[in-house]
Amino acid sequence: MNDQLNARELAAWRGFTRTHALLWRELEAGLERGHGISLGAYDVLVLLDESPGRRLRMSELAEAVLMSSGGFTRLADRLCAEGLVARERLRSDGRGFELVLTPTGRELLDRARETHRGDVRRRFLAHIDADEQVALAALWKRIGGEPLRTPAASS
């Protein structure tokens, strides 16, 4: 059995992995340089801002940002220490915790959004037309399944 990837398959795969890594690095650098936050932290703040009451269960947030519970706990600890979020016991059952976006976190997010949107447009969207954007969105959905959340226009 020949399990090697052919040239076309390799080009598609390597192009995807290289582009993903490059875009992630560039988008993260813009947020770090301009606002002192990582792309993962930005995503958490966006998710909280889009949630009812600007709060979400920690386990739901960890799943939504595709982080391990340990990695997410460390990120949550940093965000709490910086005053961007607060950790509170769940109102419903008191057994778990949720993160709540603070006014300080909301202010930072509002500033960081402008940077992030500009970087996404300049570094990614400027290279593909509207039809290609629709095709890519359908492709990512087919490969990765339904997203854990519908991306908001505000991200």
| Burial letters 76-104, b for 16+ CB under 10 A, else e | beebbeeebbeeeeeeeeeeeebbbbbee
Q: Which domain holds residue 82?
A: 26-144
Q: Which helix (H) or strand (E) holds 100?
A: strand 97-101
Question: In this predicted model, what pLDDT tens digit does every residue of 79-120 receive, in sequence order?
Answer: 999 999 999 988 777 778 899 999 999 999 999 999 999 999
Give the integer Cα–Cα distance in Å for 10 and 105.
Answer: 42
Q: In the predicted model, what is the mean pLDDT of residues 8-23?
A: 94
Task: Tell whether 18 is covered by a domain.
Answer: no
pLDDT of residue 1: 64
Task: Tell whether 72 is covered by a domain.
Answer: yes
pLDDT of residue 146: 64
Count of structural domains within the chain: 1
Q: What is the CATH number of the domain that holds 45?
A: 1.10.10.10
Give the integer Cα–Cα distance in Å for 27 and 38.
Answer: 9
pLDDT(5) > 70 = yes
Within 65-126, residue ranges assigned H as helices are 69-81, 103-123
Q: Which residues contact 15 (CB under 8 A, 6 or more apart)?
A: none
Q: Is the dihedral of CA 44, 111, 149, 17 positive or negative?
A: negative
pLDDT of residue 66: 86
Mean of all residue pLDDT scores within the chain: 89
Confidence bin at 26 (pLDDT 50/70/90): very high
